[in-house]
Structure 1
Amino acid sequence: MRKLAKWIDDHSLLLAFVFLFLLCLICQIISGTDQYNQNQSMQGLHTVSRMQYLATGNFLDGMFSNWQAAVLQLGTLIVFAVFLKTRGAAHSLRPGGQRKSKTEGKKHRGKKQRSWLYRNSLSLAFALLFGAFFGLHLVTASSANNEQRALMHQPPIGLGAFAVSSTFWFETTQTWEAEFMAIGLYIFLSIYLRQEGSPESKPVDAGDNDTGETNK
Protein backbone atom coordinates (compact mmCIF):
# COMPACT_ATOMS: atom_id res chain seq x y z
CA MET A 1 0.00 0.00 0.00
CA ARG A 2 2.84 2.37 0.79
CA LYS A 3 4.39 1.77 -2.60
CA LEU A 4 1.05 2.41 -4.30
CA ALA A 5 0.48 5.57 -2.28
CA LYS A 6 3.98 6.80 -3.14
CA TRP A 7 3.46 6.00 -6.82
CA ILE A 8 0.17 7.91 -6.84
CA ASP A 9 1.81 10.87 -5.11
CA ASP A 10 4.74 10.81 -7.55
CA HIS A 11 2.35 10.91 -10.52
CA SER A 12 -0.54 12.86 -9.01
CA LEU A 13 -0.43 15.72 -11.53
CA LEU A 14 -0.57 13.37 -14.50
CA LEU A 15 -3.26 11.22 -12.86
CA ALA A 16 -5.39 14.29 -12.16
CA PHE A 17 -5.37 15.25 -15.83
CA VAL A 18 -6.06 11.66 -16.91
CA PHE A 19 -9.07 11.65 -14.56
CA LEU A 20 -10.33 14.99 -15.91
CA PHE A 21 -9.83 13.77 -19.48
CA LEU A 22 -11.84 10.60 -18.89
CA LEU A 23 -14.54 12.49 -16.98
CA CYS A 24 -14.97 14.99 -19.81
CA LEU A 25 -14.90 12.22 -22.42
CA ILE A 26 -17.69 10.35 -20.61
CA CYS A 27 -19.72 13.56 -20.33
CA GLN A 28 -19.15 14.21 -24.04
CA ILE A 29 -20.42 10.73 -24.93
CA ILE A 30 -23.52 11.03 -22.73
CA SER A 31 -24.50 14.54 -23.77
CA GLY A 32 -23.46 14.00 -27.38
CA THR A 33 -25.60 10.88 -27.72
CA ASP A 34 -28.62 12.68 -26.29
CA GLN A 35 -28.18 15.66 -28.60
CA TYR A 36 -27.56 13.43 -31.63
CA ASN A 37 -30.69 11.38 -30.92
CA GLN A 38 -32.78 14.51 -30.44
CA ASN A 39 -31.73 15.71 -33.89
CA GLN A 40 -32.39 12.27 -35.35
CA SER A 41 -35.87 12.11 -33.80
CA MET A 42 -36.77 15.58 -35.05
CA GLN A 43 -36.01 14.42 -38.60
CA GLY A 44 -37.84 11.12 -38.22
CA LEU A 45 -34.65 9.04 -38.26
CA HIS A 46 -33.57 6.15 -36.04
CA THR A 47 -31.74 6.83 -32.81
CA VAL A 48 -28.49 5.17 -31.73
CA SER A 49 -27.13 3.64 -28.54
CA ARG A 50 -24.17 5.19 -26.76
CA MET A 51 -21.87 2.52 -28.21
CA GLN A 52 -23.19 3.17 -31.71
CA TYR A 53 -22.71 6.90 -31.21
CA LEU A 54 -18.97 6.33 -30.77
CA ALA A 55 -18.74 5.39 -34.46
CA THR A 56 -20.58 8.45 -35.77
CA GLY A 57 -18.81 11.32 -37.47
CA ASN A 58 -20.53 13.65 -35.01
CA PHE A 59 -18.66 12.18 -32.03
CA LEU A 60 -15.34 11.46 -33.71
CA ASP A 61 -15.07 14.86 -35.34
CA GLY A 62 -15.87 16.65 -32.10
CA MET A 63 -13.17 14.65 -30.31
CA PHE A 64 -10.36 14.84 -32.87
CA SER A 65 -11.09 18.50 -33.64
CA ASN A 66 -10.25 19.42 -30.05
CA TRP A 67 -7.33 17.03 -29.78
CA GLN A 68 -5.50 18.36 -32.82
CA ALA A 69 -5.94 21.95 -31.63
CA ALA A 70 -4.67 21.19 -28.12
CA VAL A 71 -1.59 19.37 -29.45
CA LEU A 72 -0.90 22.20 -31.92
CA GLN A 73 -1.06 24.72 -29.09
CA LEU A 74 1.50 22.98 -26.89
CA GLY A 75 3.74 21.99 -29.78
CA THR A 76 3.84 25.58 -31.01
CA LEU A 77 4.69 26.84 -27.53
CA ILE A 78 7.52 24.32 -27.21
CA VAL A 79 9.07 25.28 -30.56
CA PHE A 80 8.49 29.04 -30.32
CA ALA A 81 10.01 29.11 -26.82
CA VAL A 82 13.31 27.97 -28.35
CA PHE A 83 13.63 31.15 -30.44
CA LEU A 84 11.25 33.77 -29.02
CA LYS A 85 11.14 35.53 -25.67
CA THR A 86 8.79 37.67 -23.57
CA ARG A 87 10.37 39.77 -20.84
CA GLY A 88 8.75 39.07 -17.51
CA ALA A 89 6.91 35.91 -18.59
CA ALA A 90 7.15 32.85 -16.38
CA HIS A 91 7.61 30.47 -19.30
CA SER A 92 10.31 32.13 -21.40
CA LEU A 93 14.04 32.26 -21.89
CA ARG A 94 15.60 35.38 -20.45
CA PRO A 95 16.08 38.16 -23.03
CA GLY A 96 19.71 38.56 -23.96
CA GLY A 97 20.66 35.16 -22.64
CA GLN A 98 20.50 31.51 -23.46
CA ARG A 99 19.29 28.63 -21.43
CA LYS A 100 22.20 26.74 -20.00
CA SER A 101 22.13 23.06 -19.37
CA LYS A 102 23.18 21.91 -15.92
CA THR A 103 25.80 19.76 -17.59
CA GLU A 104 27.02 22.42 -20.01
CA GLY A 105 30.79 22.76 -20.09
CA LYS A 106 31.38 19.54 -18.16
CA LYS A 107 33.19 16.57 -19.55
CA HIS A 108 31.35 13.28 -19.53
CA ARG A 109 33.59 10.28 -19.66
CA GLY A 110 32.09 7.28 -21.38
CA LYS A 111 28.98 9.19 -22.40
CA LYS A 112 28.08 10.08 -25.96
CA GLN A 113 26.51 13.37 -26.92
CA ARG A 114 22.74 13.17 -27.16
CA SER A 115 21.53 12.62 -30.71
CA TRP A 116 19.63 15.29 -32.64
CA LEU A 117 16.57 13.04 -32.54
CA TYR A 118 16.63 12.84 -28.75
CA ARG A 119 17.37 16.55 -28.32
CA ASN A 120 14.29 17.41 -30.38
CA SER A 121 12.13 14.44 -29.43
CA LEU A 122 9.50 16.45 -27.55
CA SER A 123 8.69 18.79 -30.43
CA LEU A 124 8.86 15.89 -32.91
CA ALA A 125 6.42 13.89 -30.80
CA PHE A 126 3.96 16.78 -30.78
CA ALA A 127 4.41 17.24 -34.53
CA LEU A 128 3.59 13.58 -35.15
CA LEU A 129 0.61 13.70 -32.79
CA PHE A 130 -0.69 16.82 -34.50
CA GLY A 131 -0.33 15.24 -37.92
CA ALA A 132 -2.20 12.13 -36.79
CA PHE A 133 -4.98 14.01 -34.99
CA PHE A 134 -5.36 16.55 -37.79
CA GLY A 135 -5.70 13.76 -40.34
CA LEU A 136 -8.30 12.01 -38.19
CA HIS A 137 -10.10 15.32 -37.71
CA LEU A 138 -10.22 15.85 -41.47
CA VAL A 139 -11.56 12.35 -42.16
CA THR A 140 -14.17 12.41 -39.39
CA ALA A 141 -15.25 15.98 -40.17
CA SER A 142 -15.76 14.95 -43.79
CA SER A 143 -17.81 11.97 -42.64
CA ALA A 144 -19.95 14.14 -40.34
CA ASN A 145 -20.47 16.67 -43.12
CA ASN A 146 -21.58 13.97 -45.55
CA GLU A 147 -23.97 12.58 -42.93
CA GLN A 148 -25.62 15.98 -42.78
CA ARG A 149 -25.69 16.27 -46.57
CA ALA A 150 -27.37 12.87 -46.81
CA LEU A 151 -30.13 14.09 -44.50
CA MET A 152 -30.74 16.96 -46.90
CA HIS A 153 -30.66 14.58 -49.90
CA GLN A 154 -27.47 16.16 -51.24
CA PRO A 155 -24.59 14.22 -52.83
CA PRO A 156 -21.49 13.57 -50.68
CA ILE A 157 -18.33 15.66 -51.01
CA GLY A 158 -14.98 13.96 -51.55
CA LEU A 159 -12.25 14.21 -48.92
CA GLY A 160 -10.03 16.39 -51.10
CA ALA A 161 -12.80 18.85 -51.87
CA PHE A 162 -13.80 18.99 -48.22
CA ALA A 163 -10.18 19.63 -47.16
CA VAL A 164 -10.16 22.94 -49.06
CA SER A 165 -13.72 23.92 -48.19
CA SER A 166 -14.60 26.95 -46.09
CA THR A 167 -16.71 24.70 -43.85
CA PHE A 168 -13.70 22.65 -42.75
CA TRP A 169 -11.37 25.59 -42.19
CA PHE A 170 -14.02 27.70 -40.46
CA GLU A 171 -14.46 24.98 -37.84
CA THR A 172 -10.75 24.19 -37.58
CA THR A 173 -9.47 27.74 -37.16
CA GLN A 174 -12.04 28.33 -34.41
CA THR A 175 -10.37 25.68 -32.27
CA TRP A 176 -6.89 27.02 -33.06
CA GLU A 177 -7.99 30.54 -32.18
CA ALA A 178 -9.15 29.46 -28.72
CA GLU A 179 -5.98 27.47 -27.98
CA PHE A 180 -3.60 30.25 -29.05
CA MET A 181 -5.61 32.78 -27.04
CA ALA A 182 -5.26 30.63 -23.92
CA ILE A 183 -1.48 30.37 -24.29
CA GLY A 184 -1.17 34.08 -25.07
CA LEU A 185 -3.20 34.96 -21.97
CA TYR A 186 -1.02 32.69 -19.84
CA ILE A 187 2.18 34.28 -21.13
CA PHE A 188 0.84 37.81 -20.60
CA LEU A 189 -0.79 37.27 -17.21
CA SER A 190 2.23 35.38 -15.85
CA ILE A 191 4.20 38.64 -16.14
CA TYR A 192 2.05 40.38 -13.52
CA LEU A 193 0.23 37.65 -11.59
CA ARG A 194 1.50 34.86 -9.34
CA GLN A 195 0.36 31.50 -8.01
CA GLU A 196 2.17 30.52 -4.86
CA GLY A 197 3.51 26.98 -5.00
CA SER A 198 3.02 26.47 -8.74
CA PRO A 199 6.10 25.81 -10.90
CA GLU A 200 4.21 27.40 -13.80
CA SER A 201 4.36 30.77 -12.03
CA LYS A 202 7.23 33.03 -11.12
CA PRO A 203 8.02 33.21 -7.39
CA VAL A 204 5.64 35.48 -5.49
CA ASP A 205 8.43 37.93 -4.65
CA ALA A 206 9.75 38.10 -8.24
CA GLY A 207 9.53 41.43 -10.05
CA ASP A 208 7.34 41.92 -13.10
CA ASN A 209 10.41 42.33 -15.32
CA ASP A 210 12.03 39.16 -13.99
CA THR A 211 11.90 36.52 -16.69
CA GLY A 212 11.93 32.96 -15.45
CA GLU A 213 12.29 29.58 -17.07
CA THR A 214 9.64 27.73 -15.13
CA ASN A 215 10.99 24.31 -15.95
CA LYS A 216 14.66 24.83 -15.35
Structure 2
Amino acid sequence: MSPKADGKHIGFWGANALSLAFGAGFFLVVAAQAVAGYAEFNEQLAVEGLQRIGFGDYLMSSDFAVDVTENWQSEFLQFFLFIFATVHLLQHGSPESKPLDRAGIESEEYQRMGDHAREDSPRWAGTKDWRQTLYSRSLGLTMAALFLLSWLAQSVAGVAAYNDVRLRQLQEPLDWVTYLGSADFWNRSLQNWQSELLAVATMAILSVYLRQRGSPESKPVGSPHTATGVEG
Protein backbone atom coordinates (compact mmCIF):
# COMPACT_ATOMS: atom_id res chain seq x y z
CA MET A 1 0.00 0.00 0.00
CA SER A 2 1.38 3.38 -0.97
CA PRO A 3 1.88 6.00 1.78
CA LYS A 4 -0.43 8.98 2.17
CA ALA A 5 0.05 12.70 2.73
CA ASP A 6 -2.94 14.91 3.55
CA GLY A 7 -5.18 11.97 2.75
CA LYS A 8 -3.76 11.49 -0.73
CA HIS A 9 -1.76 8.50 -1.92
CA ILE A 10 1.83 9.21 -2.89
CA GLY A 11 3.37 7.17 -5.70
CA PHE A 12 6.63 5.24 -5.45
CA TRP A 13 8.74 8.00 -6.97
CA GLY A 14 7.36 10.70 -4.72
CA ALA A 15 7.60 8.58 -1.58
CA ASN A 16 11.23 7.66 -2.28
CA ALA A 17 12.42 10.81 -4.04
CA LEU A 18 15.15 11.63 -1.52
CA SER A 19 16.97 8.29 -1.67
CA LEU A 20 16.43 7.96 -5.44
CA ALA A 21 17.77 11.45 -6.15
CA PHE A 22 20.85 10.98 -4.02
CA GLY A 23 21.38 7.46 -5.39
CA ALA A 24 21.26 8.75 -8.97
CA GLY A 25 23.53 11.64 -8.02
CA PHE A 26 26.01 9.20 -6.52
CA PHE A 27 26.33 7.19 -9.73
CA LEU A 28 26.63 10.35 -11.85
CA VAL A 29 29.36 11.79 -9.63
CA VAL A 30 31.27 8.48 -9.49
CA ALA A 31 31.14 8.38 -13.30
CA ALA A 32 32.41 11.96 -13.51
CA GLN A 33 35.15 11.17 -10.98
CA ALA A 34 36.19 8.17 -13.07
CA VAL A 35 36.52 10.32 -16.21
CA ALA A 36 38.50 13.03 -14.40
CA GLY A 37 40.66 10.49 -12.58
CA TYR A 38 41.37 8.64 -15.80
CA ALA A 39 42.58 11.81 -17.48
CA GLU A 40 44.76 12.76 -14.51
CA PHE A 41 46.23 9.26 -14.21
CA ASN A 42 47.20 9.16 -17.87
CA GLU A 43 48.69 12.64 -17.61
CA GLN A 44 50.91 11.36 -14.81
CA LEU A 45 51.92 8.32 -16.88
CA ALA A 46 52.83 10.63 -19.76
CA VAL A 47 54.99 12.76 -17.46
CA GLU A 48 56.81 9.62 -16.39
CA GLY A 49 57.24 8.54 -20.01
CA LEU A 50 54.95 5.51 -19.66
CA GLN A 51 52.23 4.19 -21.92
CA ARG A 52 48.64 5.32 -21.40
CA ILE A 53 46.07 2.81 -20.17
CA GLY A 54 42.48 2.28 -21.32
CA PHE A 55 39.45 3.51 -19.42
CA GLY A 56 38.39 -0.01 -18.48
CA ASP A 57 41.83 -0.74 -17.07
CA TYR A 58 41.68 2.44 -15.02
CA LEU A 59 38.32 1.47 -13.53
CA MET A 60 39.89 -1.80 -12.36
CA SER A 61 43.02 -0.08 -11.05
CA SER A 62 44.01 0.39 -7.43
CA ASP A 63 44.39 4.12 -8.06
CA PHE A 64 40.68 4.53 -8.80
CA ALA A 65 39.68 2.16 -5.99
CA VAL A 66 41.63 4.00 -3.31
CA ASP A 67 40.29 7.40 -4.40
CA VAL A 68 36.72 6.11 -4.07
CA THR A 69 37.06 4.13 -0.83
CA GLU A 70 38.97 6.80 1.08
CA ASN A 71 35.95 9.09 0.69
CA TRP A 72 33.46 6.36 1.57
CA GLN A 73 35.13 5.52 4.86
CA SER A 74 35.19 9.14 5.98
CA GLU A 75 31.48 9.57 5.26
CA PHE A 76 30.54 6.42 7.16
CA LEU A 77 32.78 7.55 10.02
CA GLN A 78 30.89 10.85 10.14
CA PHE A 79 27.51 9.16 10.46
CA PHE A 80 28.79 6.56 12.93
CA LEU A 81 30.24 9.21 15.24
CA PHE A 82 27.25 11.52 14.89
CA ILE A 83 24.74 8.74 15.63
CA PHE A 84 26.52 7.64 18.79
CA ALA A 85 27.63 11.10 19.94
CA THR A 86 24.13 12.56 19.82
CA VAL A 87 22.90 9.94 22.29
CA HIS A 88 24.70 11.74 25.12
CA LEU A 89 26.11 15.01 23.72
CA LEU A 90 23.83 18.03 23.34
CA GLN A 91 24.00 21.40 21.59
CA HIS A 92 21.76 24.10 22.99
CA GLY A 93 19.56 25.54 20.27
CA SER A 94 20.45 23.06 17.51
CA PRO A 95 17.91 20.85 15.68
CA GLU A 96 20.76 18.34 15.31
CA SER A 97 20.64 17.82 19.09
CA LYS A 98 18.03 16.22 21.32
CA PRO A 99 16.28 18.47 23.85
CA LEU A 100 18.48 19.21 26.85
CA ASP A 101 16.43 17.00 29.19
CA ARG A 102 16.74 13.86 27.06
CA ALA A 103 20.45 13.07 27.18
CA GLY A 104 21.20 9.35 27.27
CA ILE A 105 19.50 6.24 25.89
CA GLU A 106 16.03 7.31 27.14
CA SER A 107 13.34 5.17 28.74
CA GLU A 108 11.76 2.07 27.17
CA GLU A 109 8.43 3.87 27.26
CA TYR A 110 9.73 6.80 25.25
CA GLN A 111 11.55 4.48 22.85
CA ARG A 112 8.47 2.20 22.48
CA MET A 113 10.42 -0.90 23.49
CA GLY A 114 9.52 -4.06 25.36
CA ASP A 115 6.11 -3.77 27.00
CA HIS A 116 5.70 -0.33 25.46
CA ALA A 117 6.04 -1.51 21.85
CA ARG A 118 3.01 -0.87 19.62
CA GLU A 119 1.32 -3.05 17.05
CA ASP A 120 3.16 -1.26 14.24
CA SER A 121 6.54 -1.33 16.01
CA PRO A 122 9.33 -3.45 14.49
CA ARG A 123 9.06 -7.01 15.79
CA TRP A 124 12.39 -7.04 17.59
CA ALA A 125 11.56 -3.81 19.45
CA GLY A 126 9.00 -5.72 21.50
CA THR A 127 11.38 -8.48 22.58
CA LYS A 128 13.31 -8.48 25.86
CA ASP A 129 16.45 -10.36 24.91
CA TRP A 130 19.54 -9.95 22.72
CA ARG A 131 17.39 -9.16 19.71
CA GLN A 132 16.12 -5.96 21.30
CA THR A 133 19.64 -5.02 22.43
CA LEU A 134 21.00 -5.56 18.93
CA TYR A 135 18.14 -3.87 17.10
CA SER A 136 18.19 -0.85 19.42
CA ARG A 137 21.79 -0.17 18.31
CA SER A 138 21.58 -1.54 14.77
CA LEU A 139 21.92 1.78 12.93
CA GLY A 140 25.09 2.86 14.69
CA LEU A 141 26.61 -0.62 14.53
CA THR A 142 25.89 -0.89 10.81
CA MET A 143 27.52 2.48 10.15
CA ALA A 144 30.53 1.40 12.24
CA ALA A 145 30.81 -1.82 10.23
CA LEU A 146 30.55 0.06 6.93
CA PHE A 147 33.25 2.47 8.09
CA LEU A 148 35.62 -0.35 9.08
CA LEU A 149 34.98 -2.30 5.87
CA SER A 150 35.51 0.74 3.64
CA TRP A 151 38.62 1.70 5.63
CA LEU A 152 39.93 -1.83 5.12
CA ALA A 153 39.16 -1.58 1.41
CA GLN A 154 41.00 1.75 1.31
CA SER A 155 44.06 0.20 2.94
CA VAL A 156 44.14 -2.72 0.50
CA ALA A 157 43.67 -0.50 -2.57
CA GLY A 158 45.99 2.09 -1.07
CA VAL A 159 48.95 -0.25 -0.63
CA ALA A 160 48.51 -1.49 -4.21
CA ALA A 161 48.39 2.07 -5.59
CA TYR A 162 51.31 3.14 -3.41
CA ASN A 163 53.40 0.18 -4.55
CA ASP A 164 52.59 0.89 -8.20
CA VAL A 165 54.22 4.29 -7.76
CA ARG A 166 57.19 2.80 -5.91
CA LEU A 167 57.74 0.20 -8.62
CA ARG A 168 57.66 2.86 -11.33
CA GLN A 169 60.37 4.63 -9.33
CA LEU A 170 62.34 1.38 -9.02
CA GLN A 171 61.76 1.16 -5.25
CA GLU A 172 60.92 -1.90 -3.20
CA PRO A 173 57.16 -2.36 -2.56
CA LEU A 174 55.77 -2.32 0.98
CA ASP A 175 53.74 -5.09 2.57
CA TRP A 176 50.22 -4.28 3.84
CA VAL A 177 51.15 -4.10 7.53
CA THR A 178 54.02 -1.71 6.86
CA TYR A 179 51.75 0.43 4.70
CA LEU A 180 49.27 0.78 7.59
CA GLY A 181 51.94 2.72 9.45
CA SER A 182 52.96 4.84 6.47
CA ALA A 183 52.44 8.55 6.06
CA ASP A 184 50.51 7.96 2.82
CA PHE A 185 47.84 5.84 4.53
CA TRP A 186 47.32 8.20 7.45
CA ASN A 187 47.44 11.31 5.29
CA ARG A 188 44.65 9.87 3.11
CA SER A 189 42.60 9.00 6.20
CA LEU A 190 43.14 12.08 8.34
CA GLN A 191 42.58 14.64 5.60
CA ASN A 192 39.08 13.21 5.16
CA TRP A 193 38.32 12.79 8.85
CA GLN A 194 39.09 16.40 9.71
CA SER A 195 36.78 17.65 6.96
CA GLU A 196 33.91 15.45 8.20
CA LEU A 197 34.33 16.61 11.80
CA LEU A 198 34.42 20.23 10.68
CA ALA A 199 31.25 19.77 8.59
CA VAL A 200 29.29 18.23 11.49
CA ALA A 201 30.45 20.87 13.96
CA THR A 202 29.59 23.65 11.51
CA MET A 203 26.11 22.24 10.85
CA ALA A 204 25.41 21.82 14.56
CA ILE A 205 26.27 25.41 15.47
CA LEU A 206 25.02 27.24 12.36
CA SER A 207 21.61 25.57 12.63
CA VAL A 208 21.18 27.30 15.99
CA TYR A 209 21.02 30.72 14.32
CA LEU A 210 20.28 30.14 10.64
CA ARG A 211 17.16 28.66 8.98
CA GLN A 212 16.11 26.84 5.82
CA ARG A 213 12.37 26.99 5.33
CA GLY A 214 10.79 23.55 4.89
CA SER A 215 13.91 21.52 5.69
CA PRO A 216 13.86 18.95 8.53
CA GLU A 217 17.52 19.81 9.09
CA SER A 218 16.46 23.32 10.15
CA LYS A 219 14.22 24.67 12.87
CA PRO A 220 11.05 26.44 11.75
CA VAL A 221 11.90 29.95 10.59
CA GLY A 222 10.17 31.59 13.54
CA SER A 223 11.62 29.32 16.24
CA PRO A 224 13.80 31.05 18.82
CA HIS A 225 17.52 30.45 18.74
CA THR A 226 17.27 28.68 22.10
CA ALA A 227 14.84 26.01 20.81
CA THR A 228 16.66 22.66 20.90
CA GLY A 229 15.75 19.46 19.09
CA VAL A 230 13.00 21.16 17.04
CA GLU A 231 12.78 20.38 13.33
CA GLY A 232 11.04 22.34 10.58
- Note whether the superposition's TM-score is higher than 0.5: yes
Return 5+ residue gaps in structure 2 as ranges.
Answer: 4-9, 120-125
Question: How many Å separate the matches in 2 of 1:53 and 1:171?
Answer: 20
* Superimposed CA distance per residue, residues 166-216 of structure 1 (whole angstroms, 9 cap, x where no aligned partner): 22112210000111111111001000001110111111111111101549x
CA drift at 1:104: 7.0
Q: Does the 8 Å contact 2:167/2:173 carry over to 1? A: yes
Counterpart residue number, 1:77 = 82
Aligned with 1:123 (options 123, 129, 140): 140
Question: How many Å separate the matches in 1 of 2:112 and 2:193?
Answer: 37
Question: How many Å separate the matches in 1 of 2:56 and 2:145?
Answer: 29
One-letter amino acid of the structure 2 residue matched with residue 112 of structure 1 = T
Q: TM-score scaled by structure 2?
A: 0.85
Counterpart residue number, 2:22 = 17
Higher relative contact order (CA 8 A, sep 6+): 1
The CA RMSD measured in Å over matched residues stands at: 2.4
Q: TM-score scaled by structure 1?
A: 0.91
> Does 64-73 or 35-44 show the bigger shift?
35-44
1:207 aligns with 2:224: yes
**Counterparts of 1:55-94 in structure 2 under 5 Å?**
55-94=60-99
> Does 44-53 or 146-155 show the bigger shift?
44-53
One-letter amino acid of the structure 1 residue matched with residue 192 of structure 2 = T
1:173 aligns with 2:190: yes
CA drift at 1:105: 9.8
Counterpart residue number, 2:180 = 163
Counterpart residue number, 2:201 = 184
* Superimposed CA distance per residue, residues 151-177 of structure 1 (whole angstroms, 9 cap, x where no aligned partner): 110000111111011221122100001
How many residue pairs match? The answer is 213
* Superimposed CA distance per residue, residues 60-100 of structure 1 (whole angstroms, 9 cap, x where no aligned partner): 00000000000000110000000100100111111133557
Question: How many Å separate the matches in 1 of 2:209 and 2:93?
Answer: 8
> Does 174-183 or 101-110 show the bigger shift?
101-110
Change (3 A) 1:108 1:34: closer
Aligned with 1:153 (options 164, 170, 175): 170
Question: How many Å separate the matches in 2 of 1:109 and 1:102?
Answer: 11
